[in-house]
Amino acid sequence: MNAFEPLVDSFGRVHTNLRISVTDRCNIRCFYCMSDDHVDFKPREEILSYEEIERFAGVVARMGVNKVRLTGGEPLVRSDLARLVARLTAIDGIDDVALTTNGILLAEQAAVLKEAGLRRVNISLDALSEATFRRIARRDGLDRVLSGIEAARQVGFEKIRLNAVAIRGITEDEVLPLARFARERSLELRFIEYMPLDADGAWQGDHVLTGEAIRGLLAAEFGPLEATVRDDPAQPAADFAYADGQGRVGFIDPVSQPFCGDCNRLRITADGKVRNCLFSLTEWDARGLLRRSENGGKIDADIATLVRDCVAAKKPGHGIDDEGFIRPERAMYQIGG
Ligand code: SAM
Ligand code: SF4
């Protein structure tokens, strides 16, 4: 078998989408992701260099991966991220490089990222009220996020999307302001259900503000939402059009409506561990291979085999609802959302 054949798992899912975490560090402390203090960051020497990330991406691109998203931790705290973007966009076969960011450092970096070839940006914005932002992020920064969104609009990325994690008892009052904010600026907004990946292990099922509940709030204000046809079955969001034709709103409902059956995503953590799922309990160590000092072709083939083994072991679903569900040891910021 050719080591670089497409990445098909045992359920026939073809993996073409790679999430790369470039750091586990962050400039805020969202409670659904990190602890407030005493955060256990990996030492710098354990974090993949841009050269190592580029090499890994080159190998999986040969196996059919064509989309890459940079995430973290907060990717913009890593120095000169645009250099990595430029390297990744130059890889044969990769035709889309995107970024997920909390937006705090985006105003400073939007232009240089766009120049480096970044096409799409997801900006996380859970709240438009300062108090709720602070309650979630446990740091100030809303103004900077809003400036980051403005800067992204100014430089003209192909697509800017706002991601809002929805938490019962905390963000209900943010739903309509966020929807209006996005509609007024022709930005796509996506609500994401809170998943059990918080470092404090405090998640409980009744903390999830479901997509269905949010659709109810939106419909009461803007009229009935109309489900749109999914262009790409692997995209996790269900999109709905507003009755007045002014834009769309999306829902990523991993808890209430898992979409694992069409998942095409593969992840590599900042410290070089390959994962087949956010909720995977196993990781495959690519860093060891990337740092081996022998024949380059042999290393690439070994990386390809490791990634194939990882994909082959992918389970049919995340199992959050299963009786024996075990949370992964690492939290969202350590995995890469
Ligand atoms: N720091 C960047 C940011 O916040 O956009 C990128 C990394 S963050 C881990 C990626 C996305 O995961 C963000 O949209 C964040 O809101 C979301 N996220 C983090 N923890 C989550 C959780 N427990 N459940 C659902 N989404 C979560
Ligand atoms: Fe940082 Fe993003 Fe996690 Fe919030 S969700 S703490 S911004 S990595």
Model confidence over 40-53: pLDDT tens digits?
899 999 999 999 99
Lowest mean pLDDT, pick from 97-101, 163-167, 297-301: 297-301
Angle formed by the axes of helices 81-89 and 106-116, nearest 10° = 20
> Given pLDDT bands bounded at 50, 70 and 90, which one contains residue 89?
very high
Residue 6 inside a domain? The answer is no
28 lines ligand 1 (CB under 6 A): no
State yes or no: pLDDT of 101 exceeds 80. Answer: yes
Residue 329 inside a domain? The answer is yes
Task: Enumerate the β-bridge partners of residue 267.
Answer: 19, 275
| Share in percent of the chain as helix, strand, coil (round to 5) | 35, 20, 45
Note the pLDDT of residue 90: 98
Mean pLDDT of 59-68: 98
Question: What pLDDT, in 10s, does the model give residues 238-278?
Answer: 999 999 999 999 999 999 988 898 999 999 999 999 999 99
Give the residue numbers spanning the domain of 61. Answer: 17-335
Residue 2 inside a domain? The answer is no
Counting Cα atoms < 13 Å in the Cβ hemisphere of 64 gives: 17
Name the pTM for this structure.
Answer: 0.96
Which residue's CA lies nearest to atom 7 of ligand 2?
A: 102
- Number of the ligand closest to the Cα of 22: 1
Mean pLDDT of 192-206: 95
Mean pLDDT of the chain: 95
Residue 133 inside a domain? The answer is yes
Question: What pLDDT, in 10s, does the model give residues 309-327?
Answer: 999 999 989 988 888 899 9
Q: What phi and psi values does residue 21 have, to the nearest 5 degrees?
A: -90, 125
Mode of pairing for the β-strands spanning 159-166 and 188-193: parallel
Distance 92 CA to ligand 1 centre (A): 29
Atom of ligand 2 nearest to the CA of 74: 8
> Residue 206 has what DSSP assignment?
G
CA dihedral of 153, 117, 249, 139, whole degrees rounded to 10: -70
Residue 11 inside a domain? The answer is no
> Given pLDDT bands bounded at 50, 70 and 90, which one contains residue 106?
very high
> 251 CB contacts (<8 Å, ≥6 apart)?
190, 191, 211, 214, 215, 237, 238, 239, 240
Atom of ligand 1 nearest to the CA of 198: 23
State yes or no: pLDDT of 296 exceeds 80. Answer: no
Residue 58 inside a domain? The answer is yes
The CA distance from 269 to 56, in Å, is 12
Note the pLDDT of residue 306: 98
> Given pLDDT bands bounded at 50, 70 and 90, which one contains residue 337?
confident
Residue 90 inside a domain? The answer is yes
Note the pLDDT of residue 259: 83
Note the pLDDT of residue 319: 85
The CA distance from 186 to 104, in Å, is 21
Residue 3 inside a domain? The answer is no
* Domain count along the chain: 1
334 lines ligand 1 (CB under 6 A): no
Counting Cα atoms < 13 Å in the Cβ hemisphere of 195 gives: 23
Q: What is the CATH number of the domain that holds 246?
A: 3.20.20.70
Mean pLDDT of 284-294: 93
Mean pLDDT of 180-202: 96
Asked if 226 contacts 243 with a C-beta cutoff of 8 angstroms, the reply is yes
Mean pLDDT of 141-153: 98
Note the pLDDT of residue 243: 94
> Residue 208 has what DSSP assignment?
B
Strands (E), the chain: 17-21, 67-71, 96-101, 120-124, 159-166, 188-193, 226-227, 238-241, 248-252, 265-268, 273-275, 284-285
